[in-house]
Amino acid sequence: MRVAVSVDDSRVSDGPVAYRWDVDTDILTAQFETAETGPGMTGSVELEGADGSWVVLDVRNGRVASVEVAVWPDVRISAQLAAPSKVTDGIITFPARGSQRGIAAIEVNTGVVAQADAAERTIHFRFGPARPSRAVRAARDILFELDDGQQIAGIWMLNVPPFPSAS
């Protein structure tokens, strides 16, 4: 998988996350602050698993503004799942490139693995093979894992509200 980003680690990105479940479709959206403007792309980055799963990043003015799980992969429950303890703050950006002007969507096919803690309040998505990475806080409850090449290796969603009961 090749989804390269930049990180502006000179700025704190500890804004709140607004989670929203769509009961009819099981879509989970995590929306966070992105009031700033930049020269990067505006559109979506779609990470598609071989099993048909979809994780979509909404990008506005080069900055990731939300994470949406549109089609869930099989979720493995792990009682030992814990978010990374070493985390840096930073703004995740998709830099503008001359050859990408006007592109509104990027689709990347990759392996998608999902794990959750027993309460399903912490969810970890891994993209592609497991590899060393560092955790960057993009919002209070959203962490991006980036490998040595600044490629997205994973996403952590923390303090996820329970799925609402459909009554």
Find the mean pLDDT for residues 20-25: 93
Residue corresponding to tokens 């962490």: 143
Eight-state DSSP code of residue 120? S
Q: Structural domain boundaries of the chain?
A: 6-157
- The strand order across the sheet containing 152-157 reads 75-77, 112-116, 123-127, 152-157, 142-146, 134-139, 87-89
pLDDT of residue 97: 59
Residue corresponding to tokens 């769509």: 22
pLDDT of residue 167: 45
pLDDT of residue 1: 53
pLDDT of residue 148: 93
Cα-Cα-Cα-Cα dihedral of 131, 137, 141, 143, to 10°?
A: -10
Confidence of residue 35 (pLDDT cuts 50, 70, 90): low
Eight-state DSSP code of residue 99? G
How far does the chain reach from its first CA to its final CA, in angstroms?
40
The phi-psi region of residue 79 (left if phi > 0; otherwise alpha if psi is between -120 and 50; otherwise beta) is: alpha
Confidence of residue 21 (pLDDT cuts 50, 70, 90): very high
- Taking only the tens place, the pLDDT of each residue in 58-115 is 988 888 889 999 889 899 999 899 999 999 988 888 876 554 555 577 888 888 999 9
pTM for the structure as a whole = 0.89
- Taking only the tens place, the pLDDT of each residue in 108-161 is 888 899 999 999 999 999 999 999 999 999 899 999 999 999 999 999 999 999
In the chain, DSSP assigns E strands to 6-8, 17-22, 27-32, 43-48, 54-60, 63-71, 75-77, 87-89, 91-93, 105-109, 112-116, 123-127, 134-139, 142-146, 152-157
